[in-house]
Structure 1
Amino acid sequence: MNSSSHNTPDMGGKSNIAPAVPAHVIFKLLGFTLAMIVIPIGSYFLTLNSIFQGNSTFAGATAAIMANVVLVGYVIVAMKEDQSEAIEAAAKESKKEL
């Protein structure tokens, strides 16, 4: 066996140029990244003087809670997306069998 035959692509074949991660997944990740930065910091400064009268402990706790809310939201969205992709794959597989 020639070792170079395993590493060279077929001249007549087309290479797969589809992105490894779909664009909508990247946009969701960027959106949740921005939310993870803006929402906790914003909630800290919004609640520091307006709700908690300068008590930074409570404002910090609010920021931590909001960070967890964003994280849980991301997990829920990711799980729903994964389930919908599995359902679509099963539907395509059943169409192939018919």
Structure 2
Amino acid sequence: MATRRIVSTQKTILDKDDDSTPGQEQSSSTAPAVPIDVIIKLLAFTFAMVVIPIGSYFLTVNTIFKGNSTYAGALAAIMANVVLVGYVIVAMNEDQSEQLAAKKKEGKKD
């Protein structure tokens, strides 16, 4: 079995990772990749997606629907869809606001 020998002038993969010259600093970005308000909205809608359908089921199964779990389950499914549609609307409005801000920025440059 033949093996490949590394000549001392060639760099190995590990040497390429440590390839930084003494006078050259690497730039590091500590800014988050996703804005914090987007993360908060996602967590809020995730919490709502869990709490609202389950809560609506248990609140209505014995009070409004008098033990009929089929109707209470249907209401829980409808409430889950309401939360989902709400998230889509919020996400679309956020996307449109970013586009409007970009257009205003372009208008000020001219």
TM-score (normalizing by structure 1)? 0.84
Deviant stretches of 4+, over 2 Å: 10-17
Give, in whole Å, the separation in 1 of the partners of 2:107 and 2:92: 23
| AA aligned opposite 2:82 | V
For the aligned residue pairs, the C-alpha RMSD in angstroms reads 2.4
- Bigger Rg, which one: 2
The 1:32–1:15 alpha-carbon spacing in structure 2 relative to 1, beyond 3 Å, is same
- Aligned pairs, number: 94
Which structure has the higher relative contact order (CA within 8 Å, separation 6+)? 1
Give, in whole Å, the separation in 2 of the partners of 1:48 and 1:71: 22
Gaps of 5+ in 1: none
Q: Kindly, what percent of the aligned residue pairs are identical? A: 68
TM-score (normalizing by structure 2)? 0.75
Higher helix proportion: 1
Partner of 1:73: 86
Aligned match for 2:64, one of 51, 56, 64: 51
